[in-house]
Amino acid sequence: MPLRNGVNFMNFLDHCKVLITGASSGLGMEFARQLAPRASTLVLVARRVERLEALRRDLERPGLTIHCRQTDLSDRADVAELVAWLASTGAEINFLVNNAGLGDRGRFENSDWERVRQMLDVNISALTQLTHALLPMLKAQAGAAILNVSSVASFLPIPKLAVYAATKAYVSSFSEALRAELRGTGVRVTTLCPGPVDTEFGEAASRPTSPDLVSPPEGLRVPAQKVVADALCAVEKDRARIIPGWRVALMMGVVAMLPMALLRCGLNRRAR
Protein backbone atom coordinates (compact mmCIF):
# COMPACT_ATOMS: atom_id res chain seq x y z
CA MET A 1 0.00 0.00 0.00
CA PRO A 2 1.41 3.44 -0.92
CA LEU A 3 2.33 5.43 2.15
CA ARG A 4 2.92 9.18 1.97
CA ASN A 5 4.14 10.95 5.10
CA GLY A 6 3.22 7.79 6.96
CA VAL A 7 -0.40 8.10 5.80
CA ASN A 8 -2.17 5.45 3.73
CA PHE A 9 -3.88 7.23 0.82
CA MET A 10 -5.43 4.13 -0.78
CA ASN A 11 -9.23 4.25 -0.82
CA PHE A 12 -9.17 7.64 0.89
CA LEU A 13 -12.79 8.27 -0.08
CA ASP A 14 -14.09 5.22 1.80
CA HIS A 15 -15.68 6.49 5.03
CA CYS A 16 -14.53 10.06 4.31
CA LYS A 17 -16.23 12.98 6.04
CA VAL A 18 -16.82 15.51 3.32
CA LEU A 19 -18.10 19.08 3.11
CA ILE A 20 -19.35 20.11 -0.34
CA THR A 21 -20.19 23.71 -1.15
CA GLY A 22 -22.72 24.37 -3.91
CA ALA A 23 -24.35 20.94 -3.49
CA SER A 24 -27.81 22.15 -4.58
CA SER A 25 -27.02 21.89 -8.30
CA GLY A 26 -24.66 20.79 -11.05
CA LEU A 27 -21.22 19.50 -10.13
CA GLY A 28 -21.76 19.89 -6.37
CA MET A 29 -24.88 17.72 -6.46
CA GLU A 30 -22.99 15.16 -8.56
CA PHE A 31 -20.13 15.13 -6.01
CA ALA A 32 -22.70 14.33 -3.33
CA ARG A 33 -24.24 11.54 -5.44
CA GLN A 34 -20.89 9.89 -6.21
CA LEU A 35 -19.55 10.23 -2.67
CA ALA A 36 -22.72 9.09 -0.86
CA PRO A 37 -22.09 5.32 -1.33
CA ARG A 38 -18.57 5.68 0.13
CA ALA A 39 -18.59 8.56 2.63
CA SER A 40 -19.63 8.33 6.26
CA THR A 41 -20.58 12.03 6.59
CA LEU A 42 -21.80 14.50 3.99
CA VAL A 43 -22.18 18.18 4.84
CA LEU A 44 -24.13 19.80 2.01
CA VAL A 45 -23.92 23.58 1.73
CA ALA A 46 -25.86 26.04 -0.47
CA ARG A 47 -28.57 28.70 -0.23
CA ARG A 48 -31.41 26.59 -1.69
CA VAL A 49 -31.84 24.37 1.33
CA GLU A 50 -35.02 22.71 -0.01
CA ARG A 51 -32.90 21.23 -2.81
CA LEU A 52 -30.35 20.00 -0.27
CA GLU A 53 -33.14 18.37 1.77
CA ALA A 54 -34.49 16.63 -1.36
CA LEU A 55 -30.98 15.39 -2.12
CA ARG A 56 -30.61 14.14 1.45
CA ARG A 57 -33.82 12.08 1.06
CA ASP A 58 -32.42 10.59 -2.18
CA LEU A 59 -29.03 9.69 -0.75
CA GLU A 60 -29.93 8.49 2.75
CA ARG A 61 -28.60 5.04 3.66
CA PRO A 62 -27.56 3.30 6.89
CA GLY A 63 -24.06 4.36 7.96
CA LEU A 64 -24.22 7.75 6.24
CA THR A 65 -24.90 10.97 8.17
CA ILE A 66 -26.06 13.88 6.02
CA HIS A 67 -26.22 17.48 7.22
CA CYS A 68 -27.81 20.23 5.11
CA ARG A 69 -26.61 23.75 5.87
CA GLN A 70 -28.26 26.79 4.32
CA THR A 71 -25.39 29.23 3.86
CA ASP A 72 -24.94 32.28 1.69
CA LEU A 73 -21.24 32.04 0.86
CA SER A 74 -21.19 35.66 -0.32
CA ASP A 75 -21.87 36.66 3.30
CA ARG A 76 -18.78 36.37 5.52
CA ALA A 77 -20.89 36.18 8.69
CA ASP A 78 -22.78 33.22 7.21
CA VAL A 79 -19.48 31.49 6.37
CA ALA A 80 -18.22 32.13 9.92
CA GLU A 81 -21.48 30.68 11.27
CA LEU A 82 -20.96 27.53 9.16
CA VAL A 83 -17.43 27.17 10.54
CA ALA A 84 -18.66 27.65 14.13
CA TRP A 85 -21.39 25.05 13.58
CA LEU A 86 -18.81 22.56 12.24
CA ALA A 87 -16.64 23.06 15.32
CA SER A 88 -19.64 22.63 17.63
CA THR A 89 -20.69 19.32 16.01
CA GLY A 90 -17.19 17.83 16.22
CA ALA A 91 -17.66 16.85 12.56
CA GLU A 92 -13.95 16.07 11.93
CA ILE A 93 -14.17 16.82 8.21
CA ASN A 94 -11.30 15.22 6.25
CA PHE A 95 -12.36 16.22 2.72
CA LEU A 96 -13.25 19.77 1.71
CA VAL A 97 -14.78 20.27 -1.74
CA ASN A 98 -14.77 24.00 -2.52
CA ASN A 99 -17.14 23.78 -5.47
CA ALA A 100 -19.66 26.67 -5.23
CA GLY A 101 -19.12 29.34 -7.82
CA LEU A 102 -20.84 31.69 -10.22
CA GLY A 103 -20.06 33.55 -13.41
CA ASP A 104 -21.24 36.71 -15.17
CA ARG A 105 -21.32 37.01 -18.95
CA GLY A 106 -20.87 40.39 -20.58
CA ARG A 107 -18.65 43.45 -20.63
CA PHE A 108 -17.21 44.53 -17.28
CA GLU A 109 -18.23 48.17 -17.75
CA ASN A 110 -21.91 47.12 -17.95
CA SER A 111 -21.78 44.70 -15.04
CA ASP A 112 -23.94 44.96 -11.96
CA TRP A 113 -21.66 45.63 -8.98
CA GLU A 114 -23.69 43.41 -6.62
CA ARG A 115 -23.19 40.49 -9.02
CA VAL A 116 -19.45 41.18 -9.27
CA ARG A 117 -19.19 41.39 -5.47
CA GLN A 118 -20.96 38.03 -5.12
CA MET A 119 -18.56 36.45 -7.62
CA LEU A 120 -15.52 37.76 -5.75
CA ASP A 121 -16.96 36.72 -2.39
CA VAL A 122 -18.11 33.21 -3.38
CA ASN A 123 -15.38 32.22 -5.85
CA ILE A 124 -12.47 33.73 -3.90
CA SER A 125 -13.24 34.85 -0.33
CA ALA A 126 -15.47 31.99 0.83
CA LEU A 127 -13.15 29.37 -0.70
CA THR A 128 -10.17 30.96 1.05
CA GLN A 129 -12.00 31.54 4.35
CA LEU A 130 -13.31 27.95 4.49
CA THR A 131 -9.89 26.53 3.64
CA HIS A 132 -8.24 28.69 6.30
CA ALA A 133 -10.80 27.81 8.95
CA LEU A 134 -10.83 24.07 8.23
CA LEU A 135 -7.09 23.54 7.85
CA PRO A 136 -6.46 22.78 11.55
CA MET A 137 -9.30 20.20 11.44
CA LEU A 138 -7.96 18.69 8.19
CA LYS A 139 -4.41 18.50 9.52
CA ALA A 140 -5.64 16.71 12.64
CA GLN A 141 -6.99 13.80 10.53
CA ALA A 142 -4.96 10.79 9.41
CA GLY A 143 -4.93 11.97 5.78
CA ALA A 144 -7.14 14.70 4.34
CA ALA A 145 -7.83 16.42 1.04
CA ILE A 146 -8.97 19.70 -0.42
CA LEU A 147 -10.51 19.77 -3.89
CA ASN A 148 -10.80 23.29 -5.28
CA VAL A 149 -13.05 23.68 -8.31
CA SER A 150 -11.41 26.11 -10.71
CA SER A 151 -11.94 26.15 -14.48
CA VAL A 152 -10.07 26.15 -17.78
CA ALA A 153 -11.02 29.84 -17.65
CA SER A 154 -8.20 30.15 -15.11
CA PHE A 155 -5.57 29.66 -17.84
CA LEU A 156 -6.13 32.89 -19.75
CA PRO A 157 -7.90 36.25 -19.53
CA ILE A 158 -11.38 36.07 -21.11
CA PRO A 159 -13.11 39.24 -22.34
CA LYS A 160 -16.82 39.25 -21.45
CA LEU A 161 -16.01 36.84 -18.61
CA ALA A 162 -13.23 39.03 -17.24
CA VAL A 163 -13.95 38.87 -13.50
CA TYR A 164 -14.97 35.20 -13.56
CA ALA A 165 -11.78 34.14 -15.35
CA ALA A 166 -9.71 36.24 -12.93
CA THR A 167 -11.39 34.63 -9.90
CA LYS A 168 -10.58 31.19 -11.30
CA ALA A 169 -6.96 32.24 -11.98
CA TYR A 170 -6.84 33.01 -8.25
CA VAL A 171 -8.27 29.58 -7.37
CA SER A 172 -5.73 27.72 -9.53
CA SER A 173 -2.77 29.78 -8.30
CA PHE A 174 -3.81 29.61 -4.63
CA SER A 175 -4.40 25.86 -4.82
CA GLU A 176 -1.02 25.07 -6.39
CA ALA A 177 0.82 27.20 -3.83
CA LEU A 178 -1.15 25.71 -0.93
CA ARG A 179 -0.42 22.20 -2.19
CA ALA A 180 3.31 22.96 -2.05
CA GLU A 181 3.00 24.49 1.43
CA LEU A 182 1.10 21.46 2.74
CA ARG A 183 3.52 18.83 1.48
CA GLY A 184 4.46 16.61 4.37
CA THR A 185 1.37 17.47 6.44
CA GLY A 186 -0.90 14.68 5.16
CA VAL A 187 -3.26 17.21 3.53
CA ARG A 188 -3.26 17.04 -0.26
CA VAL A 189 -4.70 19.69 -2.57
CA THR A 190 -6.12 19.01 -6.03
CA THR A 191 -7.37 21.62 -8.51
CA LEU A 192 -10.22 20.68 -10.83
CA CYS A 193 -10.26 22.64 -14.11
CA PRO A 194 -13.34 21.67 -16.11
CA GLY A 195 -14.16 22.95 -19.58
CA PRO A 196 -17.82 23.41 -20.51
CA VAL A 197 -20.25 21.23 -18.51
CA ASP A 198 -24.05 21.26 -18.87
CA THR A 199 -25.28 22.53 -15.49
CA GLU A 200 -27.24 25.59 -14.39
CA PHE A 201 -24.01 27.60 -14.53
CA GLY A 202 -24.54 29.06 -18.03
CA GLU A 203 -28.05 30.25 -17.30
CA ALA A 204 -27.05 31.68 -13.92
CA ALA A 205 -24.15 33.56 -15.57
CA SER A 206 -26.35 35.19 -18.21
CA ARG A 207 -27.52 38.77 -17.93
CA PRO A 208 -30.89 39.83 -19.38
CA THR A 209 -28.87 41.97 -21.80
CA SER A 210 -26.04 39.46 -22.41
CA PRO A 211 -25.12 39.10 -26.05
CA ASP A 212 -25.54 35.56 -27.34
CA LEU A 213 -22.07 34.08 -27.07
CA VAL A 214 -20.96 31.35 -29.44
CA SER A 215 -21.53 28.03 -27.65
CA PRO A 216 -18.44 25.87 -27.20
CA PRO A 217 -18.22 23.03 -29.74
CA GLU A 218 -20.19 19.95 -28.68
CA GLY A 219 -16.99 17.87 -28.63
CA LEU A 220 -15.61 19.98 -25.78
CA ARG A 221 -18.58 19.40 -23.48
CA VAL A 222 -17.93 16.82 -20.78
CA PRO A 223 -20.80 15.29 -18.77
CA ALA A 224 -20.94 16.27 -15.08
CA GLN A 225 -20.71 12.57 -14.11
CA LYS A 226 -17.35 12.21 -15.88
CA VAL A 227 -15.99 15.51 -14.54
CA VAL A 228 -16.75 14.43 -10.98
CA ALA A 229 -15.55 10.83 -11.42
CA ASP A 230 -12.24 12.08 -12.89
CA ALA A 231 -11.86 14.64 -10.07
CA LEU A 232 -12.42 12.05 -7.33
CA CYS A 233 -9.96 9.68 -9.01
CA ALA A 234 -7.40 12.53 -9.13
CA VAL A 235 -7.89 13.15 -5.40
CA GLU A 236 -7.25 9.50 -4.59
CA LYS A 237 -4.15 9.55 -6.79
CA ASP A 238 -3.00 12.82 -5.17
CA ARG A 239 -2.79 14.62 -8.50
CA ALA A 240 -2.12 18.35 -8.45
CA ARG A 241 -4.52 19.22 -11.27
CA ILE A 242 -7.15 17.51 -13.39
CA ILE A 243 -8.67 18.72 -16.66
CA PRO A 244 -11.45 16.23 -17.50
CA GLY A 245 -11.91 15.26 -21.17
CA TRP A 246 -8.95 14.64 -23.47
CA ARG A 247 -10.05 17.21 -26.06
CA VAL A 248 -10.28 19.94 -23.41
CA ALA A 249 -6.92 18.93 -21.93
CA LEU A 250 -5.32 18.93 -25.39
CA MET A 251 -6.77 22.33 -26.24
CA MET A 252 -5.50 23.85 -22.99
CA GLY A 253 -2.07 22.29 -23.63
CA VAL A 254 -1.97 24.10 -27.00
CA VAL A 255 -3.23 27.38 -25.48
CA ALA A 256 -0.48 27.19 -22.84
CA MET A 257 2.15 27.08 -25.59
CA LEU A 258 0.83 30.07 -27.58
CA PRO A 259 2.75 33.35 -27.27
CA MET A 260 0.84 36.11 -25.47
CA ALA A 261 1.03 38.36 -28.54
CA LEU A 262 -0.96 35.79 -30.53
CA LEU A 263 -3.42 35.20 -27.70
CA ARG A 264 -4.07 38.96 -27.54
CA CYS A 265 -5.28 38.94 -31.17
CA GLY A 266 -7.88 36.33 -30.20
CA LEU A 267 -8.82 38.20 -27.02
CA ASN A 268 -9.27 41.46 -28.95
CA ARG A 269 -11.58 39.75 -31.45
CA ARG A 270 -13.66 38.22 -28.66
CA ALA A 271 -13.93 41.59 -26.90
CA ARG A 272 -15.49 43.28 -29.98
Give 186 or 194: the residue with its C-beta nearer to ligand NAP. 194
Phi and psi dihedrals of 218, rounded to 5? Answer: -55, -40
In 10 A of CB 268, how many CB atoms?
10
CA gap 253, 247 in Å, rounded:
10
User: Helices 127-139 and 76-89: crossing angle, nearest 10°?
Assistant: 20
The site that binds ligand NAP (CB under 6 A) totals a number of residues, namely: 28
164 carries an active-site annotation: yes
Please identify which residue in 200, 215, 264, 265 interacts with ligand NAP, judged by CB under 6 A: 200
- The binding track of 1-20 with respect to ligand NAP, each residue x by CB under 6 A or -, is --------------------
The secondary structure of the chain in percent helix, strand, coil, rounded to multiples of 5, reads 50, 15, 35
According to the binding rule CB under 6 A, does residue 244 interact with ligand NAP?
Answer: no
Smallest distance, ligand NAP to C-beta of residue 168, A: 7
Nearer to ligand NAP, 125 or 141 (CB): 125
Q: Are 155 and 196 in contact (CB under 8 A)?
A: no
At position 91, the amino acid (one-letter code) is: A
Binding to ligand NAP (CB under 6 A): which residues in 38-77? 46-48, 71-74
Give yes or no for residue 187 binding ligand NAP (CB under 6 A). Answer: no
Decide if residue 194 touches ligand NAP (CB under 6 A). Answer: yes
Contact call for residue 199 and ligand NAP (CB under 6 A): yes
124 contacts ligand NAP (rule: CB under 6 A):
no
**Segment contacting ligand NAP by CB under 6 A, of 11-19, 100-108, 246-254, 257-265:** 100-108
Among 16, 19, 20, 24, binds ligand NAP (CB under 6 A): 24
| Contacts for 21 with CB less than 8 Å, ≥ 6 apart | 28, 45, 46, 71, 73, 97, 98, 99, 100, 126, 127, 130
Whether residue 191 contacts residue 148, with contact meaning beta carbons closer than 8 Å, is answered with yes
**How far is the C-alpha of 224 from the C-alpha of 228, rounded, in Å?**
6
Residues with catalytic roles: 164
Residues found near ligand NAP in the complex (CB under 6 A): 22, 24-28, 46-48, 71-74, 99-102, 118, 122, 149, 151, 194, 196-197, 199-201, 204
